[in-house]
Copies of this chain bind each other. A is one copy, B any other.
Amino acid sequence: MPFFTLTATDGDARIGTLHTPHGDVPTPAFMSVATQGSVKALDSSDLQNIGANIVLANTYHLYLRPGVDIVEDLGGLHGFMQWHGATLTDSGGFQGFSLEHLRKITEDAIIFRSHIDGSEHTFSPEAAIQHQEKIGADIIMPLDICAPADSDFDAVDSAVDKTNRWLLRCVEAHTRTDQRLFGIVQGGLFPELRRKSAEFITGVGFPGYSIGGLSVGEPKQAMYDTVNSQRRCCCLICLRSHPDGYMFDCVLPTRIARNGSLFVKTGRLNITAAFNKRKYAPIEEDCDCYTCRTFSAAYVHHLFRAKELLAYRLATIHNLRFILRLMEEMRAAIAAGEFAEYRREFHSRFTPPDEQTRRDQKQKWLASFGRA
């Protein structure tokens, strides 16, 4: 069976299926992030109940803690977190950007100082693959260089070249045939470099392609334009995206949930706001998530106000289910040839947070890098 089966197209939109050793993943898909082997506040049975098919973990974080040998001994990421669906690991390349103050990049590798204890760790392309083979996700990523948004043409060009050299070393180092190594397109905001990167990577040939080097400080529109220009070569997009990337950001739904910001049809609801104190209906009347089927908005409001730990779990369940349902609806709309209509309908009712809110979130996000 091929790794990816295309089921239907509707204009530029398409639906399909990724076939992994741990089940099929219908696309377009949303991947919840389990950075350290846990989608924050949830366990694997929660994820299954929400309808998740795939989760994403981080090599850099699992390498530092608990260590990839321990994850391997426990049966890899699947056994470690007892998640039996599909998995993907990021290589550590993104931490080469986000932990900029804790790393240097040589010709050979990214050298990190641990954000936990300051110890030094060398991530060569080969090491990044070996760690990921121990973690054992179904889809793994090559080690790449993520140039900051303000890099000039030559710097990005040189990052693309080095990423390409590293990519060949990753391909060489990759031995597990049950794991799919993806390519990652780099090239910043320079269409010429994006093209150069894409041509090189598709020339090598991979079962799937990610778009990298975005959401690293560039304006939102530039990010959208770049994604747009590359969408035909990629079956998974926005793996790494900050809150401006909005709907597909892997951490956004869970992180804002823990702050009490909950997705509803019309946008976001602040559950901690006083007007929810006596909202005896669910957070959203016809939401099919466990939280809404079981509890009143007033109860969730109370849990947040009282700082009860349960608040974070119930809010996370709601937000993830919202996003996964959105994916389901999008796939159904594409299958029915009604995607343009669905999209119009969605945007006509859903008001994203204003720019100030986004900017505040982004600041928080950037400030969190030292600890992330």
Residues of chain A whose beta carbon lies under 8 Å from any beta carbon of chain B: 36-38, 40-45, 65-66, 70, 73-74, 80-82, 277-278, 280, 294-296, 298-299, 301-303, 305-306, 308-310, 312-314
**CA–CA, A44 and B305, complex, Å:** 19
What are 5 A-to-B residue pairs whose CB atoms are below 8 Å?
A: A42-B310, A65-B302, A66-B301, A73-B278, A313-B313
Provide the residues of chain B in CB contact with A277, threshold 8 Å.
66, 70
Q: Is the CB of A43 within 8 A of B314?
A: yes
State which of B38, B66, B299 has its C-beta within 8 Å of the C-beta of A298. Answer: B66
Q: Known contacts A73-B280, A296-B74, A298-B74; is A312 also within 8 Å of B309 by CB?
A: yes
- Which of B44, B45, B295, B302 sits near A36, CB closer than 8 Å? B302
Given contacts A74-B280, A309-B309, 19 further A-B contacts (CB under 8 A): A36-B302, A37-B299, A37-B306, A38-B308, A41-B310, A42-B310, A43-B310, A43-B313, A65-B305, A73-B278, A74-B296, A74-B298, A74-B299, A80-B299, A80-B302, A82-B295, A309-B312, A309-B313, A313-B313
Chain B residues within an 8 Å CB radius of A295:
82
Identify the closest chain B residue to A302 (Cβ). B66
Docked-complex contact B41 and A299, CB < 8 angstroms: no
Residues of B with C-beta under 8 A to A301:
66
Set of chain B residues within 8 Å of A82, measured between Cβ atoms: 294-295, 299
6 closest Cβ contacts across the A-B interface? A41-B309, A66-B302, A38-B308, A36-B306, A38-B310, A82-B294
> Are B74 and A303 interface neighbours, CB within 8 A?
no
Report the bound CA distance from A302 to B71 in whole Å.
10
Determine the distance from Cα of A36 to Cα of B301 in the docked complex, in whole angstroms: 12
**A303 CB contact (under 8 Å) in B38, B296, B309:** B38
Q: Chain B contacts of A310 at CB under 8 A?
A: 38, 40-43
Chain B neighbourhood of A42, CB < 8 A: 310
Which of A43, A70, A73, A80 is most buried by chain B, counting CB atoms within 10 A of its CB? A43
How far, in Å, is A129 (CB) from chain B's closest CB? 23
Chain B's nearest CB lies how many Å from the CB of A196?
A: 39
Chain B residues within an 8 Å CB radius of A303: 37-38
Most B Cβ at <10 Å: residue of A38, A42, A81: A38
Asked whether, in the complex, the Cβ of A66 is within 8 Å of the Cβ of B305, the reply is: yes
Q: Are A299 and B65 in contact (CB under 8 A)?
A: no
From A67, which residue of chain B is reached at the shortest CB distance? B277
Query: Which residues does chain B contribute within 8 Å of A278, judged by CB atoms?
Result: 70, 73
Q: How far is the CA of A16 from the CA of B66 in the complex (A)?
A: 47
CB neighbours (8 Å) of A44 from chain B are 294
Report the bound CA distance from A305 to B302 in whole Å: 29
- Which residues of chain B come closer than 8 Å to A36, judged between CB atoms? 302, 306, 308
